[in-house]
Amino acid sequence: MKSLGYEVSLWESELEPLPEELLDSEVVVCNGLFLYNDISKFSKLKLVQLTSAGLDRVPINEIRNREIKLLNARDVYSIPMSEWVILKILEIYKNTRFFERAQSRCEWVKNRELLELNGKTVGIIGTGSVGIEVAKRVKAFGCKVLGLNTSGSNNKYFDDCMSVNNITRFLGQIDIVVLTLPLTDKTLNMINQETLNSMKDDSVLINVSRGGIVSENDLLRCLNNGKIRGAALDVFDEEPLSKNSVLWKHPRVVVTPHNSFVSDNVSGRMFKLIYGNLERFINKRPLKHI
């Protein structure tokens, strides 16, 4: 960054107030900085490069009103997240917990109730970068892939796409529902008792987007009454997930601590994105992922 002509300041924790001299920054690279620091104090701010794909942790309206350029980290995490989705679908379909328990007891016991992914219909709600990478991979398993997005616009990796206005009809066709959409006012609690009831019996829910998209209480009711075979959740309404949450030990739930984005290649992609955008910005060239 310095080699590009920037004066660079590092600040370790976004949770702490920035010192006065850093409020003059013209460019900020961050994740949740503006949850803890008032963006209005950054009087010279011209560019915000997020290290996240989601935009739910930044004050969008003020950024738009001040014409600050906002860039996200689209594509950086999509591959590991899509691999996590495949892993969790197979864990539920092949009931790996059953065999882990049997192994811990040194028991040679078969399970005759495993499912096959081939021929199933996977519904991906959110057809952006993560959704596309999921679609590519489930296609390789012989699945039909349907997408749900705002307009119903199609994508070559999906067999068909529908508008979010048709979510009930969409869910009624799906064996495996994968959530890869952003959290907004319109998507908050999108997966609730009504939409869960419209899902096929014995279906599976996978969430790698944001916890607020799913009503956890409504999901638990459907898990407890057997409506849904299982859920794999990497994100939650409150994080860290409380130790008292029943989700931790629920037999139909797989929990991971917002970790699906992690891989050995993420930091390389992140550096390439950030460095490339800072180079474009200082040279007044078009930016990536505005």
pTM: 0.95
- Is residue 116 annotated as part of the catalytic site, yes or no? no
Q: Find out if CATH 3.40.50.300 is the number for domain 78-255.
A: no
Catalytic residue among 221, 250, 258, 289: 258
pLDDT (0 to 100) of residue 25: 97
Q: What count of other Cβ atoms lies within 10 Å of the Cβ of residue 86?
A: 18
Write the Ramachandran bin of 87: left for phi over 0, alpha for psi from -120 to 50, otherwise beta: alpha
For residue 252, indicate whether it is catalytic.
no
- 258 is annotated as an active-site residue: yes
Catalytic residue selected from 16, 100, 238, 239: 239
Dist. CA 130–CA 75, nearest whole Å: 7
* Identical topology for domains 2-75+264-282 and 78-255: yes
> What pLDDT is recorded for position 252?
97
Domain spans in the chain, listed from the N-terminal domain onward = 2-75+264-282, 78-255
Mean pLDDT by runs of 10 across the 290 residues of the chain is: 96 93 97 96 97 94 98 97 98 98 98 98 98 98 98 96 98 98 96 98 98 98 97 97 98 98 98 98 97
Return the pLDDT at 169: 97
Q: What top-level class would CATH report for the domain 2-75+264-282?
A: alpha beta
Three-state secondary structure call for residue 176: strand
Q: Which residue out of 137, 210, 229, 252 is catalytically annotated?
A: 210
